[in-house]
Amino acid sequence: MRWDKHIDYITSKANSTLGFLRRNINISNPQIKEHSYKTLVRPILEYSQSVWDPYTTGAVKKVESVQRRAARYTLNRYSRTSSVSSMLSQLNWQPLVERRRHARLVMFYKIHYQLVSIRIPLTSKFHLQPTRTENMFAYNIPSSSCDYHLQSFFPRTVRDWNTLPQEVVQLGTVEAFRRALLTV
């Protein structure tokens, strides 16, 4: 149940694709470079991300390093003194770890409202009103004796879901929920 080999594979594939872009797109237009990254590289890093979402620091850094390389490529700043964090901010790119969190929550929203045919193997807490720390649709977090289960989709996502504001989890459409996550 480890995803290390998969993470190595996708980061290698994404870096290869980014290298291909660097060799073949010799245009100084950042918009074209950004569009090529978002079209050809980022989908490699985000395909089925709710399933394999890394939780260890090393794995998260390995995946984020691809986006950091892409930011340098997009803005054509390769100096050691150039701040990649400021480049990411300038490009308005959300960290991939945050994008994966949002994808997990959107999938859980779809599961909760039965928009996909996946059964929730959890029990509801049945709050009649939101509590100070949880919304009315909070679920019991399954106990785990190993880290792999504790960091798997349902336990990890339920911890995030339970702390979302009540008005966010009650939104009527997936798109409204997705937009609201950007403000939470």
Instruction: Provide the domain limits for residue 77.
Output: 4-93
pLDDT of residue 103: 96
- pLDDT tens digits for 135-184? 999 999 888 888 888 888 999 999 999 999 999 999 999 999 999 999 98
Is residue 23 domain-shared with residue 39, that is, in the same domain?
A: yes
CA 3, CA 6: separation in Å to the nearest integer?
Answer: 5
Final residue before a domain boundary, out of 93, 114, 148: 93
Distance CA 155, CA 149 (A): 7
| Same domain membership, residue 80 and residue 128 | no
Instruction: Check residue 148 and give its pLDDT.
Output: 82
Mark whether 37 and 116 lie in a shared domain: no
CA atoms within a 13 Å half-sphere pointing along the CA-CB vector of 12: 6
Same domain, 113 and 80: no
Do 124 and 84 share a structural domain?
Answer: no
Pair (114, 163) in one structural domain:
yes
**27 to 16, 66, 75, 132: CA distances (angstroms):** 19, 20, 11, 53
Task: Name the pTM for this structure.
Answer: 0.89
89 and 15 share a domain? yes
Are 29 and 60 in the same domain? yes
81 and 122 in a single domain? The answer is no
**Do 176 and 129 lie in a common domain?**
yes
Answer whether residue 1 shows pLDDT above 80: no
What six digits make up the tokens of 138?
């909070």
Question: 122 and 166, same structural domain?
Answer: yes
Domain count, the chain: 2
Domain boundary among 39, 59, 93: 93
Residues 82 and 13 in one domain: yes
Domain boundary (49, 78, 93) is at 93
